[in-house]
Structure 1
C-alpha cells in the first residue's frame, strides 16, 4: 500500500471520532504515510498524532466552497498519487474531490446515491443502527482489515501539556470542574442559570471551577459567572476566549470532571479519558455521537419530540425547550460530584 488520504471535513467532533479509523488503518498498513484532511481551523489539534504524516485544513466555508474549487483541489491532490482514499464525509463536494484525486481505491458511503459514481467502493453507513465510530469502521471492511481500534488516543504537542502543568502548579490545589456553556446550535445550550447553579455547588463543595468558551461564546460564559455569584471567588478561573484549540484540549485533559453540552469540546474531553457529564437536549444518544467510556455520562430526558434534528435547530420547534429545562442542576451536580471527588 502506498500513500493514504483520509478525509473528514465535518465538525470538530467528527474529526476526533475519525481517529480510531486512522489508528486502525495505520496498524494495518504501518509503512504507508497517512494524510488527514479536516475542516480549516482544527488541523492544529492533530499535528502531533503519531499515525499521521501530514494534516491539511480545507476551507469549505471560504475560498474552497464551490464545486469548481473542489474539482481543482482534487486535481491538485492527484499529484500526491494516493493509493487509497477514504472519505468519512458524505457531501457532493467531498465526493468530487475524492473522484479527482484519481486514487486507485476510493472508499466512501453508498448514500447519497451520487457517491456510487464518485468512489470505486461504497459501503452502507448503517445509520442509525451503529454508533458513529462503528459506522466509520464500515469504511475499512473492503480492505479485509480484521483488527479495529476503537479509542481515539488523541495526542497533543508536548508543549501544550507542559503549559497546562505549569498553570496547574500555580493555580490548582483542589479537584477541578470544567464547564463549557457554549454551542454553535442554540438549542444545545443548557440554560445559563442551570450552569451557574452547578458552578456555585462545586465551589461550595470545595472544588475549583474553570469556565471555558470559544470565540464568540464569551458572553455566554460571563452570564454563567455572573449568575453563579462567584465573580469574585478565587475558586473560579475564567478562561473564556483565552485559549487556542490545542490549549483547550490540553486543559480538558487535566480536569477531574467536565460538564458540557453536546459539542465538539465534549469529544476532546472524553477522547482523553477525562470524566464527562454531557447534557443532551435536542439530540439523543441513539444518534451515535455520544461520549464513550465508563467515566462518561449522558444526561437526557424522555420527551416525545426528541430528537428534533441531527444537530439541533436554532430554536425549539415546539416553543417549550423542555428537553433542556427538564434536566435540572441537581441531576447534573449529582453526577458530576461523584467524578470530582472520586
Structure 2
C-alpha cells in the first residue's frame, strides 16, 4: 500500500476544500493517507476525516513570524527544516504539496530527495502534473474570468482515480420552517468579501418573523461585536450566539445540526459543504463562485458580477456596488424556498456535476458572454492539450453540452466572426500547446455554431408544422 502525505498549510477553508482529494486517495486509490496542517487545525482535520491514517502539524504562525522578524533567514530556514525532518521517518512514498510560499518550499526540500513530490511550486518538468498546474496558473494570470476550474477539482487532479460522488444533481433542500435551524456566518477575513451586518439583520428578521426559524450565529472572537449588534434586532428566544465560543471541532458539530447555512465565502461555508449542509452563499468582490463556491449539492450562490469584478483583495474600492447589489429581501425568499431571479448584475448559480468535476450553472438560463464561452472552452480543452489531464478533467464535449444547455449562445454568436477564437493567447504557454489550444478552441466554436444553426432550423420546422396543423 502506498503511503501519501498531503500538505495543506493554509487556512480552514483550504483544508476543507482539500478533503475531497484526501478521500480520493484513500477510497479510490487505496492509499494510506496522512496530512500535514497548521497546528491550530490538527484536531479539526482528525474530526472531519477520522479515517485519516495520520495528522501531522507544524506551528505555521510561529514560523511565519520568525521569517518576518528574523535577521537571519538561514537560521529561520534551518529551524523549519529541523522540525520537518522528523516527518522523513514516516517514509512516505509520495508527497502532494497544495501551497505556494517559503513554508511549502521547505516541505519540498525536506522530501525532495526521498520520494516524489508534486503539487504547487514543487514541480519539475518530469512531473505528470507539471503542465496541468502551469495551465491553471496561466489562466489565472491572464484573467481570472477565464478560469472555470474549481479549487477542489484542481486539488483532486492529483488523484488518478475519483471516489464515488457523495451527491447527485437534483438535490433540493427543504424550505426553512419553524422547526429549522439556520446557521449564519457574518464576518469574513476580508472586508471586500463581507456583506454589511445591516443586510444580514434584515434577512434574519424576515425569516424569523415569517417562518419562525431558529438562528445560530458563528464566527471567531473578532466578529463578536457585529454578531451582538445583529442579534439585538432578533427574537432572543430564537437566537444562539456561538461567535467566539466554540473550538473548531465544536463548530463542525454545530454546523452539522443546521438545516441551512447563510454565509459569504468563508471557511465556515466550506466546512458546511464538506459536512453536507446546503447553503445560500453570497459571492462578490474578490470571491468567484467558479473557483471557490461551496462544493456539493443543494447550494445556491448569488454572484455579483459588475464590470469591475472580480477585483483583488488589495485594490481600493470607492463604493462596494457588488455587495450592495444583493437585496436582503431576495436572500430571504431563497431561504424560504421561493423562486427568485436576482436583478443584474447579480446572477444565481447552482452546482451540477460534469464528469468527475463540479461546475456552476446559471439559473435561469442566461445569455453567454465572451468569458463564459472562452472560459468553458478552455475548461474542456485542457483534457486534450495536456496528456496528463486526459481522463481526469471534463472533455470538450462536456463543455459544449454545458454551454448549449445552460447558456443562450445566439446573441453572442451573431456579434462575432466565425474565427474570433483564433486571436486568443495564453502568455507563457509553450508554442506547441498554444497551437493545440487554438485549434481546439476553433473546433469547439465551430461546433457550437453548428449546434445553434441546427437548433434554429429545428425551431423553424416546428413552427411550420404547427402552422400546417392549424
TM-score (norm 2): 0.60
2:5 matches 1:5: yes
For 1:134 and 1:35, locate their aligned partners in 2 and report how far apart those are by CA, in whole Å: 19
Matches within 5 A, 1:145-294: 145-149=160-164, 174-205=179-210, 206-226=212-232, 229-230=233-234, 233-294=236-297
**Contact 2:24–2:161, Cα closer than 8 Å, also in 1:** no
Quick one: which of 152, 156, 159 aligns to 1:137?
156
Unaligned runs of 5+ in 2: 68-76, 137-146, 168-176, 339-470
Moved more, 201-210 or 123-132: 123-132
**Contact 1:108–1:119, Cα closer than 8 Å, also in 2:** no
Quick one: which of 283, 293, 298 aligns to 1:295?
298
**Contact 1:99–1:119, Cα closer than 8 Å, also in 2:** no
Count matched residues: 304
Quick one: which of 76, 81, 91 aligns to 1:81?
91
Higher gyration radius (CA): 2
1:118 Cα shift? 11
Question: For each residue in 1:235-287, what CA deviation from the matched residue of structure 2 results, as whole angstroms up to 9, or x when unmatched?
Answer: 12222221111111111112121111110000111222212011112134355
For 1:333 and 1:135, locate their aligned partners in 2 and report how far apart those are by CA, in whole Å: 33
SS of the equivalent of 1:300 reads strand
For 1:197 and 1:73, locate their aligned partners in 2 and report how far apart those are by CA, in whole Å: 49
TM-score (norm 1): 0.81
**Contact 1:2–1:33, Cα closer than 8 Å, also in 2:** yes
1:213 Cα shift? 2.0
2:112 matches 1:97: no
Change (3 A) 1:249 1:150: same
Question: For each residue in 1:136-156, what CA deviation from the matched residue of structure 2 results, as whole angstroms up to 9, or x when unmatched?
Answer: 12223xxxx23445659xxxx
1:117 Cα shift? 5.4
1:331 Cα shift? 1.9
- RMSD between aligned alpha carbons? 2.5
1:14 alignment partner in structure 2:
14
Unaligned runs of 5+ in 1: 153-171
Change (3 A) 1:283 1:337: farther
Change (3 A) 1:34 1:335: same
1:335 alignment partner in structure 2:
334
1:156 alignment partner in structure 2:
none
Question: For each residue in 1:14-43, what CA deviation from the matched residue of structure 2 results, as whole angstroms up to 9, or x when unmatched?
Answer: 11111111111112453x432211122122
1:73 Cα shift? 2.9
**Contact 1:256–1:274, Cα closer than 8 Å, also in 2:** yes
1:50 Cα shift? 3.7
2:35 alignment partner in structure 1:
36
SS of the equivalent of 1:331 reads helix
SS of the equivalent of 2:240 reads strand
For 2:125 and 2:88, locate their aligned partners in 1 and report how far apart those are by CA, in whole Å: 14
| More relative contact order, 1 or 2 (CA 8 Å, 6+ apart) | 1
Question: For each residue in 1:50-91, what CA deviation from the matched residue of structure 2 results, as whole angstroms up to 9, or x when unmatched?
Answer: 431221232222146543333223322222221111111122
Change (3 A) 1:96 1:85: same
SS of the equivalent of 1:210 reads strand
- More helix, by proportion: 2
SS of the equivalent of 2:199 reads helix
